[in-house]
C-alpha cells in the first residue's frame, strides 16, 4: 500500500489551537499561508512542528489576499527562503531570476492557478512552468461544476510524473483531491478543521484522514458516490470508505455536489473517460434535487420508483443501470415504527420531494392514512395526484390529530430551524426526522423529545439506508457494528436482510414533470 505526503494548510494566526491536534501530528508538511497570517513566526512553528515548512504568499489573482507590489513580494519571498524548507512561487509572477537565485530548485514549489477547458491546455502550461526546475509543481484548477475537475485527473494521467500534483479547488473539486494521489500525485493538501472559515470549501486534514483513510492509499478501481446538493457534511463517504478499508476492497466513495445529474452523468459515467483512468463509477446514492433525473438515466426502474417518480440509488448491473430506492428501509427497519399498527394511523409527511413521496407511498401501502404537507402548493398538489393522497399546504397545516409526523425536508440540517410546530400533536406521537447533522440531534428531535413524544433520529434512518445501499451496490454486507460506531448509535439490530434481492424492475418510464 502506498502513502501520500499529507500537507496541512495553516491560514490563521492561532497555531496554538491546532499544535496538539491529531491533524497537526499526522501532517508531514505545514503550509503557512503568509497572505493570511503575515506575522507567522517560522522559528516558533519549527519548534512545535517536526515536519517540513512551506511558505505560500497567495496573490489575489490566485485566490489569496496578498496585494504587495512586485518588489515587496519578491523581497518577502527572499526572506522566507531563509527560514522555510520550501517556498511557493506563483508561475505568473514569481519566476524571476533574482528570486530564483535565492530559492534553490530543491526547495521550490511552483504553482499555477486558473481555469482551462481541457487537459491539453494544461499540458501547455505545464511545459512552460517546468522550464524552471522545482521540488513540486502544483496545478490548481478553478471549476464551477464537479465534472470540470476531470481535466486535472486526465492531465495527471497523461504526463505521468511523480513531482506534479493537480486538482480542482473548492467543494466541486474535493473528489479530485481524493483520486489525484491514486494517479501519481505525491501530495494531498488539506486545511485544519479549526480553520474551516478560510478553507474555501476545500477538505480538511480531519476529513482526509477520517473520511478517506489518508495518508494510506488503497488502490482504486471502482468509484461510488453521493450526488446532490447540498451534501456538505454528509457522513456517507466516511461510512462507506471505512467499510471498504475493512474489506480491503479497491473502492472509494466520494461526494459529487451537483444539481445537474445529467451533466455529471454524460461527462463522468457514459463518456468512458473515467475508465481510461482505470476507474469505473459503479453506483450512486442520489440526493435532492436529482432523484427525478435519476429515472431518466437508468435502463431499469423499480416499480416503487416509477410510481413515485424518484430514485435514491443507481446501481450498475451487468452493464446496465438500475434505479431503486432504499427509502422504505429507513422507516421500516426501525423497531418503533414496526410496533405501530399502521392501519388507519394518521401520518403527516412534511416535504414532497423524492424522499417524502416514496415514504408516503410505502406508508399508505401499509394502511396508514397519509397526508402530504409541502411549502410549495403546486408541488404538493402534483405529488398528491401522483400518489392519490390528501395534501395540505404547510402554512395551513396543524399537527392536531396526527400520531406520526415525518420530516422529509432539509429544514433543520444546519441546526437552526423547525419545519413545523408540534405543540398541537397528539401526546405520545412518533416523530421521524430524515435530516441528520454531525453535531447531534436536530431541533425537531430536541423539541419532540422535550414534549414527551417518541423520536427516531435521522442518523438511524441513515444507518438503515446505508446498509441497504452498500448491499445493493457491492453485493456485500457492510459491518453494521462499524457503521453504528461511526454514527454514534448504540448496539442493536436494524433488521436489514442478510442478502439483497435483485432490484425490482419494470420497463423504463419517463418521469413526469411537475
Burial 251-267 (b: 16+ CB within 10 A, else e): bbbbbbbbebbeebbeb
Alpha-carbon Rg for the chain, nearest whole angstrom, is 25
Separation CA 29–CA 193 (nearest Å): 16
Half-sphere exposure of 183 (CA within 13 A, CB side): 27
Q: What is the pLDDT of residue 379?
A: 96
Separation CA 262–CA 289 (nearest Å): 12
Residue 191, SS3 per DSSP: strand
pLDDT tens per residue, range 316-347:
988 899 999 999 988 888 877 877 788 989 99
Kindly report the length of the chain. Answer: 514
Separation CA 9–CA 512 (nearest Å): 47
Half-sphere exposure of 512 (CA within 13 A, CB side): 12
Question: In this structure, are residues 281 and 473 in contact, taking their beta carbons and an 8 Å threshold?
Answer: no
Q: Does domain 329-459 have CATH number 3.40.50.720?
A: yes
Set of cell numbers at residue 235: 457522513
Q: What is the pLDDT of residue 511?
A: 38
**Per-domain boundaries in the chain:** 2-215, 329-459
The CATH superfamily label for domain 2-215 reads Aldolase class I (3.20.20.70)
> What is the CB neighbour count within 10 angstroms for residue 37?
17
User: Starting at the edge strand that comes first in sequence, how are the strands of the sheet with 390-393 ordered?
Assistant: 390-393, 369-374, 346-350, 404-407, 430-433, 454-456
Q: What is the pLDDT of residue 437?
A: 81
pLDDT tens per residue, range 46-87:
999 999 999 999 999 998 999 999 999 999 999 999 999 999
Q: What is the pLDDT of residue 197?
A: 61
Write out the E strands in 40-186: 52-56, 86-90, 108-114, 136-141, 164-168
Set of cell numbers at residue 447: 423539541
Q: What is the pLDDT of residue 196?
A: 63
Separation CA 340–CA 321 (nearest Å): 36
| pTM of the full structure | 0.91
Set of cell numbers at residue 139: 496545478
Write out the E strands in 429-470: 430-433, 454-456
Question: In this structure, are residues 488 and 459 in contact, taking their beta carbons and an 8 Å threshold?
Answer: yes
Q: What is the mean pLDDT of each run of 10 residues along the chain (514 residues)?
A: 92 75 93 91 91 96 92 95 96 92 95 90 89 96 95 95 94 96 95 72 91 95 96 92 96 97 96 96 96 94 95 93 93 79 92 96 95 96 97 95 94 78 89 87 91 92 94 94 91 49 48 35
Separation CA 240–CA 245 (nearest Å): 9
Q: Within its chain, how far is the Cα of 238 from the centroid?
A: 9
Separation CA 305–CA 333 (nearest Å): 19
Helix axes 150-159 and 119-129, enclosed angle (nearest 10): 60
Amino acid at each position: 500500500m502506498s502513502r501520500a505526503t499529507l500537507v496541512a494548510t495553516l491560514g490563521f494566526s492561532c497555531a496554538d489551537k491546532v499544535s496538539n491536534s491529531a491533524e497537526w501530528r499526522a501532517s508531514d508538511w505545514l503550509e503557512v499561508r503568509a497572505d493570511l497570517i503575515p506575522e507567522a513566526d517560522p522559528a516558533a512553528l519549527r519548534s512545535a512542528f517536526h515536519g517540513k515548512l512551506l511558505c505560500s504568499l497567495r496573490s489575489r489573482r490566485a485566490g489569496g489576499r496578498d496585494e504587495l507590489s512586485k518588489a515587496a513580494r519578491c523581497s518577502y519571498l527572499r526572506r522566507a527562503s531563509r527560514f522555510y524548507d520550501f517556498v511557493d512561487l506563483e508561475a505568473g509572477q514569481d519566476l524571476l531570476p533574482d528570486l530564483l537565485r535565492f530559492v534553490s530548485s530543491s526547495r521550490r514549489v511552483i504553482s499555477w492557478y486558473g481555469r482551462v477547458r481541457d487537459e491539453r491546455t494544461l499540458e501547455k502550461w505545464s511545459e512552460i512552468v517546468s522550464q524552471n526546475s522545482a521540488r513540486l509543481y502544483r496545478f490548481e484548477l478553478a471549476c464551477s461544476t464537479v465534472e470540470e475537475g476531470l481535466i486535472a485527473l486526465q492531465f495527471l494521467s497523461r504526463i505521468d510524473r511523480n513531482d506534479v500534483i493537480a486538482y480542482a479547488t473548492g467543494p466541486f473539486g474535493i473528489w479530485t483531491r481524493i483520486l489525484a494521489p491514486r494517479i501519481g500525485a505525491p501530495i494531498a493538501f488539506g486545511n485544519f478543521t479549526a480553520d474551516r472559515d478560510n478553507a474555501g470549501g476545500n477538505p480538511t486534514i480531519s476529513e482526509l484522514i477520517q473520511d478517506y483513510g489518508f495518508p494510506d492509499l488503497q488502490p482504486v478501481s471502482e468509484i461510488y458516490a453521493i450526488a446532490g446538493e447540498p451534501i456538505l457534511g454528509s457522513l456517507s463517504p466516511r461510512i462507506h470508505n471505512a467499510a471498504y478499508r475493512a474489506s480491503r476492497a479497491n473502492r472509494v466513495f466520494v461526494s459529487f455536489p451537483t444539481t445537474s445529474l445529467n451533466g455529471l452523468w454524460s461527462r463522468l459515467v457514459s463518456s468512458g473517460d473515467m475508465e481510461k483512468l482505470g476507474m469505473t463509477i459503479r453506483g450512486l446514492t442520489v440526493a435532492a434535487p436529482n432523484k427525478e433525473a435519476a429515472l431518466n438515466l437508468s435502463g431499469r426502474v423499480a416499480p416503487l420508483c416509477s410510481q413515485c417518480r424518484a430514485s435514491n440509488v443507481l446501481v450498475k448491473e451487468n452493464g446496465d443501470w438500475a434505479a431503486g430506492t432504499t427509502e422504505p428501509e429507513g422507516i421500516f427497519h426501525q423497531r418503533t415504527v414496526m410496533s405501530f399498527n399502521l392501519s388507519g394511523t394518521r401520518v403527516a409527511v412534511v416535504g414532497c420531494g423524492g424522499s417524502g413521496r416514496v415514504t408516503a407511498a410505502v406508508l399508505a401501502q401499509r394502511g396508514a392514512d397519509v397526508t402530504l404537507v409541502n411549502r410549495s402548493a403546486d408541488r404538493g398538489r402534483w405529488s398528491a395526484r401522483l400518489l392519490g393522497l390528501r395534501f395540505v399546504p404547510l402554512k395551513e397545516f396543524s399537527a392536531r390529530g396526527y400520531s406520526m409526523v415525518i420530516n422529509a425536508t432539509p429544514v433543520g440540517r444546519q441546526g437552526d430551524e423547525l419545519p413545523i410546530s408540534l405543540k398541537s400533536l397528539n401526546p405520545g406521537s412518533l416523530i421521524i426526522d430524515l435530516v441528520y447533522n454531525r453535531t447531534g440531534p436536530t431541533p425537531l428531535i430536541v423539541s419532540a423529545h422535550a414534549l414527551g413524544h417518541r423520536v427516531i433520529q435521522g442518523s438511524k434512518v441513515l444507518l438503515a439506508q446505508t446498509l441497504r445501499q452498500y448491499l445493493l451496490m457491492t453485493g456485500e454486507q457492510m459491518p453494521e457494528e462499524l457503521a453504528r460506531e461511526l454514527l454514534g448509535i448504540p448496539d442493536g439490530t436494524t433488521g436489514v436482510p442478510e442478502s439483497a434481492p435483485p432490484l425490482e424492475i419494470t420497463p423504463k418510464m419517463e418521469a413526469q414533470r411537475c
